[in-house]
Structure 1
Amino acid sequence: MAIITISREMGTGAYAIAKELAKKLKYTLVDRVKIEELAPAYGLTPEILERVDEKPPSYRTAEDRLQAAHLATMELILLDCAKKGNVILYGRGAQDLIKVLTNVLRVRFIAPFEDRVEKFAEREWIDPDLARELIRRSDHQLGGFIHFYFNRDWNDPLAYDLIFNTEASSSHAMIEAIIAASKDPRLKEGEEESMALLEDLIIAKRVEAELLKSSLARALKFCISCEDGVVTLAGHVQTEEEIEEAIELARSVEGVTDVENELDVLSYKPVKD
C-alpha cells in the first residue's frame, strides 16, 4: 500500500487524525514516540533528537556539522521504516525526503491561525496568548526547517497531494478521504520501482551521515546520489587527499557496490570555527 506522509501546522489536530488513520489502515505511525523507540539502535539519544528534530542545521561550526550528521541518521530511521511498508511518516520533511518515490501520498493539514490558537489553548489548558506565541514559534521553526534543509516553501501547495483545512472538515471525513486516496491504483503501480529507489536513498543517506561525522564535514559541498548501489560523489573539496578519503569512506558503507568520483578540488581557506 501507499506510504503516507503528513505535514501539519501546530494546532490543527493533525496528530489525533494521524493516530486514528494509522489504526484504521493498520499502518505504523512513525512519529516522535516511534523515532525515540528506534533511535538507540542508530546511536541517537533523546538529547540528540531534541537538538536536531525538525530544526534547521547551519553547518557553520564543528558542532553544527555533527548535528547535521545526527539529523541524517534520524532520516535513516524514516527511510528504513518506509522500506518496511504500511507506514505513516509524520512531519520531519518526509514528503521531501522521499519525493522521488511514486507510491507516496503526501497530506497536509492547515487551519486559520486563530482557530489553531483556540483549539490548542483548549486542548493544552493554557492561556490563548501563550498558545499564540507557541504556534508562531512552531510555524517559524517548521517553515525554516523545510526551507533551509529542502530549499522549499513549506506552504507550497504543489508539494502535497491532499490539503485539508481542519476548521472546515470533520476528522471522519478527512480520514475517509485519505484512505480512499491511498488505494489509488496509480500508487500501487509505483511500488516496485519505488522500493528500488528507496534502497538507493538509504545507501546515499548512510554515506551522507558518515561523511558528516568525518573530518570531511569541513569540505565545501557534497552532493551524494546512488543508483543500484553505485554511489556518485560530486561537489567540491579542498585537496586531492580529501577526494581519496571521501571515496574510501563511501566504499566502506554498507550496501555500496562502487563509488564514482565527480569531486573537484577548489582552493578555499575556510573560516575558523
Structure 2
Amino acid sequence: MAIITISREMGTGAYAIAKELAKKLKYTLVDRVKIEELAPSYGLTTEILERVDEKPPSYRTAEDRLQAAYLSTMELILLESARKGNVILYGRGGQDLIEGLDNVVKVRFVAPFEDRVEKFAEREWIDPELARDLIRKSDHQLGGFIHFYFNRDWNDPLAYDIMFNTTRISQSAMIDCVMAAVKDPRLKESEEESMALLEDIILAKRVQVEILRSSSVRILQSRITAEDGVVTISGHVQSEEEIEEALRLARTVDGVADAESTLDVISFKPTKD
C-alpha cells in the first residue's frame, strides 16, 4: 500500500493518531524511537541525533558539513525504511525526501494555538505558560527547518493531500479517512515507477553522505541526482581537484555505475564573523 507521511504541529495529538494508524494498517511507524533503534547500524549515536534531528544544517566549516552528513545519514534511515513499504514517515520532512513519488499520502495535523497549549499542558502536567512557550518555539524550529532545508512553506495547504484540524475531527474519523485514502487504486498503479524513483533518491543520498563526510571536498552548494546508477553532481567547489575527488568518492558508493559532474569552480573564502 501507499507510503504515508505525517507533518504535525506540536500539541495536536498527531503522535497518538500515527501510532493507532500504524497499528490498524500494520505499518511500521518511523518516528524518533524507530530511528534511534536503527541508528547504530548507520554509525549514528543518540547524541548525534539530538544535535541534528529536524534542525537546519549549515555548510560553512568542516564541522558544519559533518553535521550535515549526519543529518543526511539519518535521512537514509527514513528512505531505506520507505523502500520496505507499508510505512509511516513521521515528521522530518519525509514528504520532501521522497518528492516525486506518486504512491504517497501526505497528511498534516493542525489545531488552533491555544487549543494546542491546553492539550499539551494537560498531557504533560505542566504550566500553560511553559506549554505556550514550548509550542511557540517548536513551531518556529520545525517550520524553519522545512523552509531552510527544503525551501518550502510548512503551512502551505497545497503541499499536503489531507489536512486535519484535530480540535474539530475525532481521532477515529481521521484514521478512517487516511485508511481509505491509502487504498486508492491510483496509488497502487504508480507503485512500481515510484519505487524505481526511490532507489535513485537513496543512491543520490548515499553519495551526498560520502561527499559531506570528506574533508577534501568543500561543496558550497550542491545538488546530487541519480538515474539508473549514473550519479550527477552539480553545484560549486573551490578547485578542479575537488571536482575529481567528488567524482572519485561518488564512484566508491555501492550501486553507482558512473558519476558525472556539472560542478563549477568559484573563488570563495568565507569571512570570519
> What TM-score, normalized by structure 1, do the two folds share?
0.98
- Provide the residue aligned with 1:112 in structure 2: 112
For the residues of structure 2 that align with 1:96 and 1:59, how far apart are their CA atoms?
Answer: 20
Q: Which amino acid is the alignment partner of residue 181 of structure 2?
A: A
Q: Which amino acid is the alignment partner of residue 154 of structure 1?
A: W
**2:60–2:270 CA contact under 8 A, matched in 1:** no
- Counterpart secondary structure, 1:11: coil
Q: Which amino acid is the alignment partner of residue 146 of structure 2?
A: I
**1:230–1:260 CA contact under 8 A, matched in 2:** yes
Indicate yes or no: 2:3 matched with 1:3: yes
Q: Structure 1 stretches of 5 or more lacking a match?
A: none
**1:65–1:217 CA contact under 8 A, matched in 2:** no
- Provide the residue aligned with 1:60 in structure 2: 60
- Provide the residue aligned with 1:233 in structure 2: 233
Q: Which amino acid is the alignment partner of residue 180 of structure 1?
A: A
For the residues of structure 2 that align with 1:220 and 1:10, how far apart are their CA atoms?
Answer: 33
Q: Which amino acid is the alignment partner of residue 177 of structure 1?
A: C
Indicate yes or no: 2:235 matched with 1:243: no
Q: Which amino acid is the alignment partner of residue 191 of structure 1?
A: E
For the residues of structure 2 that align with 1:76 and 1:152, how far apart are their CA atoms?
Answer: 20
- Provide the residue aligned with 1:208 in structure 2: 208
Q: Structure 2 stretches of 5 or more lacking a match?
A: none
For the residues of structure 1 that align with 2:22 and 2:140, how far apart are their CA atoms?
Answer: 28
For the residues of structure 2 that align with 1:169 and 1:217, how far apart are their CA atoms?
Answer: 50
- Provide the residue aligned with 2:195 in structure 1: 195
**Pairs within 5 Å for 1:34-183:** 34-183=34-183
For the residues of structure 2 that align with 1:216 and 1:54, how far apart are their CA atoms?
Answer: 27
**2:237–2:263 CA contact under 8 A, matched in 1:** yes
For the residues of structure 1 that align with 2:272 and 2:207, how far apart are their CA atoms?
Answer: 26
**1:250–1:259 CA contact under 8 A, matched in 2:** yes
C-alpha root-mean-square deviation of aligned residues, in Å? 1.1
* 1:56-96 deviations in Å (ceiling 9; x for gaps): 11223322211110000000000000000000000000011
For the residues of structure 2 that align with 1:22 and 1:40, how far apart are their CA atoms?
Answer: 24
For the residues of structure 2 that align with 1:216 and 1:167, how far apart are their CA atoms?
Answer: 52
For the residues of structure 2 that align with 1:108 and 1:216, how far apart are their CA atoms?
Answer: 40
**1:95–1:106 CA contact under 8 A, matched in 2:** yes
For the residues of structure 2 that align with 1:149 and 1:57, how far apart are their CA atoms?
Answer: 8
For the residues of structure 1 that align with 2:236 and 2:203, how far apart are their CA atoms?
Answer: 21
For the residues of structure 1 that align with 2:139 and 2:60, how far apart are their CA atoms?
Answer: 24
* 1:152-201 deviations in Å (ceiling 9; x for gaps): 11001111000000000000000000000011111111100011000000
Q: CA deviation at 1:218?
A: 2.2
* 1:1-54 deviations in Å (ceiling 9; x for gaps): 000000000000000000000000000000000000000000000000000000
For the residues of structure 2 that align with 1:204 and 1:24, how far apart are their CA atoms?
Answer: 33
For the residues of structure 2 that align with 1:224 and 1:16, how far apart are their CA atoms?
Answer: 36
Indicate yes or no: 2:32 matched with 1:32: yes
Residue range with higher mean Cα deviation, 154-163 or 61-70: 61-70
